Amino acid sequence: MRYNHFTSAIYFLFFFILYACNSTEETAVSNETESNIPAAQNISYTLIQSFPHDTAAFTQGLEVYQGKLLESTGLYGKSSLRLIDIKSGKPIKQISNTKEIFAEGITVMNDTLYQLSWENHLIFLYDAKSLKPLGSRDWNYQGWGITHDNKSLIISDGTDKLYFTDPATLKVKNILSIKDNMGPVNNLNELEMIDEFIFANRWQYDYIVKIDPTNGVVIGTLNFADFLQKNSKADLSYLSKNNSSAQINGAVLNGIAYDSTKKSIYITGKLWPEVYEIKLQ
Ligand SMILES: [Ca+2]
């Protein structure tokens, strides 16, 4: 018995050491990967001008299409798809989603407009020129933001993952994990492809990240801390006076649209009174 106890103790010690070595090795590899990532650089930008934005628009998606803005707004019973005149901020066309749909990001690829929904597991398709609905397709994940690289739709679901998706079948081809020198970068929300890089809002963070699509590394950030307070011409007291929790807590930076011909980026936030045109320095 004494021998058996001793043998058991030796086996236990052996497997404990083996486990400890493996754990240490995994941790070391993980740390080494993150430590190889340089800290993201601050990206400077210039504010060019601002345009009116509907303060009832809970912005979930923003994209430039043929010199106009396309916007998707969320919340149950208030979700919509809008084609907007940039200068006036007025909708040229507006389509309401049905009340059980919480609409999210939008993008146009090959004149088909894709509109995500949050937890409805549906992607809505439209003819981009007429905004005529073309039905819906199933989607396995939550829908937050969407853009494309001319080959794949690129979709976020509020995690640190981006789903590279076939636009014809809506099958996921590749999943990219986004990270910086501190580890995974989660809460990825509205997206925009800008000159071969993916720019993303992070939900409830007042900065935009620039992502290298070849490896998922965040290489830069655009800081928008207190941006609305510093630059808005509007009385912002409505954002704290209304009793709606969406208005008190939800009016966050969200919405990036790129006009490649002007090299202008339009940014806004949920319920913000303005859309801002900026240029990268
Ligand atoms: Ca966008």
Give the model's pLDDT for residue 242.
Answer: 62
**What distance in angstroms lies between residue 142's CA and the mean position of ligand 1's atoms?**
17
**What distance in angstroms lies between residue 181's CA and the mean position of ligand 1's atoms?**
25
Give the model's pLDDT for residue 245.
Answer: 57
For residue range 244-266, what is the model confidence (pLDDT) as tens digits?
655 556 899 999 999 999 999 99
Looking at the structure, give the CATH architecture of the domain made up of residues 42-280.
6 Propeller (2.120)
For the whole model, what pTM was predicted?
0.87
Q: Cα(195)–Cα(279) distance, rounded to whole angstroms?
A: 13
**What distance in angstroms lies between residue 239's CA and the mean position of ligand 1's atoms?**
23
H or E segment to which residue 26 belongs:
helix 2-35
Mean pLDDT of the chain: 90
**What distance in angstroms lies between residue 62's CA and the mean position of ligand 1's atoms?**
4
For residue range 87-133, what is the model confidence (pLDDT) as tens digits?
999 999 999 999 999 999 999 999 999 999 999 999 999 999 999 99
- Domain ranges in the chain are 1-36, 42-280
Whether residue 104 contacts residue 113, with contact meaning beta carbons closer than 8 Å, is answered with: no
Nearest to 69 by CA among 48, 53, 49: 53
**What distance in angstroms lies between residue 229's CA and the mean position of ligand 1's atoms?**
23
Q: Which two tokens stand for residue 225?
A: 């801390």
**What distance in angstroms lies between residue 11's CA and the mean position of ligand 1's atoms?**
58
**What distance in angstroms lies between residue 87's CA and the mean position of ligand 1's atoms?**
18
**Sequence letter at residue 260:** S
**What distance in angstroms lies between residue 26's CA and the mean position of ligand 1's atoms?**
37
Residue 160 is classified by DSSP as S
For residue range 189-238, what is the model confidence (pLDDT) as tens digits?
999 999 999 999 999 999 999 999 999 999 999 999 999 999 999 999 88
Read off φ and ψ for residue 128, nearest 5 degrees: -65, -30
